[in-house]
Structure 1
């Protein structure tokens, strides 16, 4: 890209290197022709840049998210923390799967809906019927889970 500033001409240089692994580098700073940022939509496996959709795929990540639900209805008082029993959605091939450890982490909807904070937790879905996670209510009002 060349920028002309009066009698001065600036040139942007691009360096290309041989990379054996396919990867998307610098996705957080991708910009279109008009300086608009790219929309990286990993849930839809695409990037939107200058109104053009580019399909993408993730390497080494399971495409099956699991629903986590509270095992028992409970009230979490304001300014309190609790260890909560939850059910982690299971699939039929979980019993044969060698790796049954999963990370349970909060989604934005949890914070938007309940105004709670949740610690990212490592759980094993084959160890017990329910798993335990830690939830914090940093506000003064109680929340029904």
Structure 2
């Protein structure tokens, strides 16, 4: 039985504190974990340690990319927040408007994009990203063709 096809993830671009840009299309061939968050958002802050832990569990793997996107586009403030909390999470800001396909109605919001550029999942609200279903699901995506 064939699985229903996932929609293609719209191509959007982000930049880091050094002005280096990255686009969704440039990451084709990798699994992309995008978390939309803000420093003033309690559920965002609450889930941050689990995202940091998740990223650490994949630190030897070049086939997955983590993008922490500050919806306020305040790269200085969000970078300082990560440093202060000793999180090893790369902060980006959107270069253009974020399509509703990504953001929905709330933050935190996490989007998982498969290697082929399909949007595999979009999850609104805070989560525990250390749960085995999340880790195993990402491993499966990484290992798939």
**TM-score, normalised via structure 2 length:** 0.23
- Which one has a larger percent strand, Structure 1 or Structure 2? 1
Q: Which one has more relative contact order, counting CA pairs under 8 Å at least 6 apart?
A: 2
**TM-score, normalised via structure 1 length:** 0.23
